[in-house]
Amino acid sequence: METPNEETVYLDYNATTPVEKEVQDVILQALQEAWGNPSSAYSAGRKANELVSEARQQVAQMIGASPADIIFTSGGTEANGLVFHTAVKHFWAATNGLAEGQCQRRPHIITTTVEHDSVCLTAKHLVEEDKADVTYVEVSSQTGQVDVVDVLAAVRPNTILVSIMLANNETGVIMPIAEIGQRVHDLCKGPTKHRPILIHTDAAQALGKVHVDVNDLGVDYLTIVGHKFYGPRIGALFVRDPGSSTPLFPMLFGGGQERCFRPGTENTPMIAGLGKAAQLVFTRLDEDETRMQDLKDYLEDQLKNKFGKEKLHFNNHFEGSKRLPNTCNVSILGDDLQGYRVLAHSHRLFASTGAACHSSQKNRPSPVLLKCGIPAKIARNALRLSLGRFTTRKHIDIAVAELYRASCELESASIH
């Protein structure tokens, strides 16, 4: 991809981030020096094994976990799928040995209406194949968050998993995962003796932007996605004491790598790069978070100064809710200012109207914004401007000028 420079401005860091130079260097070095199979005993294999172990420690450090709790995956989609697969398998394994179909109830899963497709579509697939029941909890139009009380109200005797993202990729709203985890676990310890419920959060959008600690959150599983924090396009899954305290059932079978939880010869260069990216998050987070918050405030102020408050609607300004420090979701109001049209006329700006995986839908308003209570006419005009480590105030000035020019051109063309 084209990286940010003085000619173009990249404000789509929630879609993907450029790979840090230090991460690139580690990947290249691994390609050159650790080309051996990590399971082999000779020097190139031992070097590869050492890099995988070091990366496991670095990823664990980033989230306050033990290295033994980290399972490397191909990415966030696989990690999320592994959690749902495990939940269903664990339900049947724990149901007194009854075979699937012999139990009166299927496993029940709770998630929300604003999850990433890798969660929503996996849940939908399980329902269509009669493998699970799923409750999709709505988010509040006042807060943009899922309400803890609503999650608890959705719990059934056969509930096995609660899966809720840590931060929404379009609004940046941070969900109350720690409280949800605590209340659900308390429910399982209470006098009703509810079966243990597993707690999962997809932390793809939060890592590298806000502090994430698995012990503070109280989760059993946490999804990690490298290309969201300046690393390569692989991922990892945190599992609290996998196979012992927390179940984990493999989806693949092979050579026994990753303690048989995720077999397949390890992608050593990318794993090493993921570890380095995680290390940089650990050392730079405070600085990055403060800087991004300052830049986002500057962006929103410049938009107001250029367009006027009456011309804008900030789609993620929910009172009392915490948001990611880098995410601005805004609509420029006007009948001809649909987000995809404005961006098509903003030749120097790289941004999106919502989730990158929905970019082909163009004029369709974001389902996430609609579910957050944003009217369709406003949601159609939405722009997601997400900042990152390489964003400067000059980039923001260029972006605002581009958006203003494009909007004026579109409105002028509609008059004529």
Give 8-54 pLDDT, tens digit per residue.
999 999 999 999 999 999 999 999 999 999 999 898 899 999 999 99
Extract the tokens encoding 271: 């794993």
Share of the chain above pLDDT 70, in %: 93
389 pLDDT tier (thresholds 50, 70, 90): very high
Looking at per-residue pLDDT, the higher value among 242 and 413 belongs to 242
pLDDT at 3 over 60: no
Q: Which residue has 């985890």 as its token pair?
A: 181
pLDDT recorded at residue 2: 44
pLDDT at 357 over 60: no
Instruction: Single out the residue of 159, 154, 176, 158 nearest to residue 167, CA to CA.
Output: 176
Give 119-172 pLDDT, tens digit per residue.
999 999 999 999 999 999 999 999 999 999 999 999 999 999 999 999 999 999
Give 336-355 pLDDT, tens digit per residue.
999 999 999 999 999 999 76
pLDDT recorded at residue 355: 66
Q: Is 221 strand, coil or helix? A: strand
Give 57-77 pLDDT, tens digit per residue.
999 999 999 999 999 999 999
pLDDT recorded at residue 90: 95
φ and ψ at residue 384, rounded to 5 degrees: -100, 110
Query: Is residue 336 within 8 Å of residue 344, measured between CB atoms?
Result: no
Fold (CATH) for 9-19+285-415: Aspartate Aminotransferase, domain 1 (3.90.1150)
414 pLDDT tier (thresholds 50, 70, 90): confident
Give 181-230 pLDDT, tens digit per residue.
999 988 888 676 678 999 999 999 999 999 999 999 999 999 999 999 99
Instruction: Single out the residue of 216, 242, 80 nearest to residue 161, CA to CA.
Output: 80
102 pLDDT tier (thresholds 50, 70, 90): very low
In one-letter notation, the amino acid at residue 229 is F
Looking at per-residue pLDDT, the higher value among 102 and 109 belongs to 109
The CA R_g of the chain, rounded to the nearest whole Å, is 22
- Could you tell me which residues come within 8 angstroms of residue 308 by beta carbon, excluding any fewer than 6 positions away? none
Share of the chain above pLDDT 90, in %: 86
CA distance 316 to 214: 26
Average pLDDT, the chain: 93
pLDDT at 360 over 80: no
Give 262-317 pLDDT, tens digit per residue.
999 999 999 999 999 999 999 999 999 999 999 999 999 999 999 999 999 999 99
The one catalytic residue among 120, 328, 357, 372: 357
Could you give the C-alpha distances from 11 to 14, 206, 258, 386, in angstroms and in order?
A: 8, 17, 36, 5
- Name the residue ranges covered by the structural domains of the chain: 9-19+285-415, 21-279
Q: Which DSSP string do the residues of 289-312 spell out, in sequence order?
A: HHHHHHHHHHHHHHHHHHH-GGGE
- Tell me if residue 408 is catalytic: no
16 alpha-carbon distance from chain centroid: 11
Could you give the C-alpha distances from 52 to 34, 266, 271, 275, in angstroms and in order?
A: 10, 8, 6, 8
pLDDT recorded at residue 103: 52
pLDDT at 101 over 60: no
Q: Answer yes or no: same fold for 9-19+285-415 and 21-279.
A: no
CA distance 235 to 57: 14
95 pLDDT tier (thresholds 50, 70, 90): confident
pLDDT at 356 over 50: yes
- The CATH class for the domain spanning 21-279 reads alpha beta
Q: Where are the beta strands (DSSP E) in 346-411?
A: 349-350, 382-386
pLDDT recorded at residue 362: 62
